[in-house]
Homo-oligomer: A and B are copies of this chain.
Amino acid sequence: MTDSTPAELDRLATAAAAAFAATAASTDAERAAWLRAVATELDAHAHELVAIADGETALGETRLRGEVARTTGQLRLFADVVEEGSYLEAVIDHAVPDAAPPRPDLRRMLRPVGPVAVFAASNFPFAFSVAGGDTASALAVGCPVIVKAHPGHPELSRRVASLVSQALAGAGAPDGVFALVEGREAGVALIEHPAIAAGSFTGSVAGGRALADRAAARPSPIPFFGELGSINPVVVTEAADAARGAALAQGLAGSFQLGAGQFCTKPGIVFVPDGSALESALPAHVGSAPHRLLTDAIDRGFRAGLAHLAAVPGAEVVAGRAADDGIPQPLVYAVDLDTFATHLETLSAEVFGPVTLLVRYGSAADLPAVLARLEGSLTATIHAEDADDVTPVLDVLAARAGRVLFAGWPTGVAVTWSQHHGGPWPSTTSQHTSVGATAARRFQRPIAYQDAPERVLPAALREGNPLSIPRRVDGALRLP
């Protein structure tokens, strides 16, 4: 029994609230140093961490080693973001005494919201877990973090938490700035604790919705940033299939089987022309699953999802083998567009694991009306040739996705200034991203200072721009 007790949770949340005074007063340079210290510590222990993670997740050393690098790169990106200073959104309007009515001196910036509850995911035991993007972005802006560990990798969670705490302490971060809790009850108590100012989550629709509802129902509601489920539709045009159907088959096969299909960005539905080269070439690239699924619950969900697909009249397996020796095998189903339209709700439900669905269309003109019935996704992908008019498909997909790809496959999520990992419900619960530089804004709130004397202003808003950051002054954006 390792579940955090209510008393322990309360103690940690209270400590986080106490730490907030110090983190809110810390400088950008200090917090950048905290993040880089955590990155250095994790990199130094990568070998040990990968071994623990592989024992608990079976994801394999290569994938896990890459994920550690991604995670520490992410911590360093947020250090850069903080030092660059635009994230503060400093805006200064000097007084205009002659205006009617007279305008005061008014200066706005973003400040940290307070302690953040981070609910870790199972499928990225590093990048979306204890020291993942939510933790990095919250710490970056000055919010203490309490992580609810995912039960799929408890030993790894504890070891990472221990290294994070050690690195933060060594870099001078205040006591209470970071903690880990375990257990379902502790997670619920966490999102409902008065000291918590915001929540973030990566996981299932059911789990995310339950926590979102609790966050909204608190006596004092708090923002909740959940990344839930996503089907990630792909459209392949006739011309693209004719030009490179075989290569697309190889790419698709790699993407939907990656990590045994346990990516929230897995391409779940692929619209292909009737008789596509892609479909013909696909079986050669659908192999054996490399490993078991992450948890028993995911395994059960995968089998249930396959059963739902198999029960749809006209659905057929076109690649992979139904054989099952305990490790679920990759499968590709196919239906025609009419069948898909008829059974859209069943066929567009996310199945977490190594399966994807081809939907064969006769005329591309029939696609937009069907695509318009899909729920929101994190991504949508269009494989087309230069001569294709993709506008009708793009318009409907861009309205339903947070990222639209025109090459490659959605499973890769670059951690950059420009990334957006989010989308309309149910892919996320808000308009914000959980990957990339602007993820930090989730944990900030604006504050405006009116007619404040220079001595009380935060450095970001002082007249001489002592932090040398981009600011908007009297309506004009200015670089330092």
Residues of A within 8 A of B (CB): 21, 24, 66, 80, 84, 86, 89, 91-93, 101, 103-104, 106-108, 111, 113, 212-213, 216-217, 220-223, 375, 386, 390-391, 394-395, 398-399, 401-408, 412, 414, 416-420, 422, 424-426, 429-433, 436-438, 444-453, 455-456, 470, 472, 475, 477, 479
Given A66-B101, A108-B419, A108-B420, 13 further pairs, Cβ under 8 A = A80-B475, A86-B477, A93-B414, A93-B418, A104-B405, A108-B438, A216-B216, A220-B375, A404-B447, A408-B451, A418-B472, A420-B448, A438-B446
Q: Tell me the complex Cα distance, A169–B429, Å.
A: 34
Contact A431 B398 (CB under 8 A): no
Q: Tell me the complex Cα distance, A422–B450, Å.
A: 14
Can you spell out 5 A-B residue pairs with CB atoms less than 8 angstroms apart?
A: A91-B417, A103-B414, A106-B418, A222-B425, A419-B448
The 3 closest A-B pairs by CB, nearest first: A407-B451, A216-B216, A420-B448
A446 touches which one: B217, B416, B425, B433 (CB < 8 A)?
Answer: B433
- Shortest distance from the beta carbon of A254 to any chain B beta carbon, whole Å: 12
Q: Tell me the complex Cα distance, A450–B411, Å.
A: 12
Contact B91 A429 (CB under 8 A): no
Contact B403 A450 (CB under 8 A): yes
Contact A405 B451 (CB under 8 A): yes
Chain B residue nearest in CB terms to A390? B456
Contact B431 A447 (CB under 8 A): no
Given contacts A220-B425, A221-B425, contact A404 B213 (CB under 8 A): no
Contact A447 B398 (CB under 8 A): yes
Contact B220 A402 (CB under 8 A): no
Contact B106 A391 (CB under 8 A): no
A449 touches which one: B406, B429, B455 (CB < 8 A)?
Answer: B406
Contact A447 B401 (CB under 8 A): yes
Q: Tell me the complex Cα distance, A89–B431, Å.
A: 14
Q: Tell me the complex Cα distance, A107–B21, Å.
A: 36
- Shortest distance from the beta carbon of A230 to any chain B beta carbon, whole Å: 14
- Shortest distance from the beta carbon of A445 to any chain B beta carbon, whole Å: 4
Residues of B within 8 A of A436 (CB): 108
Q: Tell me the complex Cα distance, A433–B445, Å.
A: 9
Contact B103 A416 (CB under 8 A): yes
Q: Tell me the complex Cα distance, A436–B408, Å.
A: 40
Most B CB within 10 A of own CB, among A92, A93, A108, A402: A108
Q: Tell me the complex Cα distance, A1–B264, Å.
A: 50
- Shortest distance from the beta carbon of A408 to any chain B beta carbon, whole Å: 6
Most B CB within 10 A of own CB, among A91, A417, A418, A452: A418
Contact A108 B425 (CB under 8 A): no
Q: Tell me the complex Cα distance, A66–B102, Å.
A: 13
A402 touches which one: B213, B431, B448 (CB < 8 A)?
Answer: B448
Contact A212 B220 (CB under 8 A): no
Residues of B within 8 A of A113 (CB): 431
Contact B212 A406 (CB under 8 A): no
Chain B residue nearest in CB terms to A112? B399
Residues of B within 8 A of A91 (CB): 417-418, 437
Q: Tell me the complex Cα distance, A374–B386, Å.
A: 61
Residues of B within 8 A of A417 (CB): 91, 93, 472, 475
- Shortest distance from the beta carbon of A113 to any chain B beta carbon, whole Å: 7
Residues of B within 8 A of A402 (CB): 445-448
Contact A422 B446 (CB under 8 A): yes
- Shortest distance from the beta carbon of A160 to any chain B beta carbon, whole Å: 22
Given contacts A93-B418, A412-B101, A417-B93, contact A403 B448 (CB under 8 A): yes
Most B CB within 10 A of own CB, among A391, A450, A475, A479: A450
Residues of B within 8 A of A470 (CB): 477
A221 touches which one: B84, B212, B390 (CB < 8 A)?
Answer: B212
Residues of B within 8 A of A450 (CB): 403-408
Q: Tell me the complex Cα distance, A118–B93, Å.
A: 28
Given contacts A216-B216, A407-B450, A450-B404, contact A431 B445 (CB under 8 A): yes
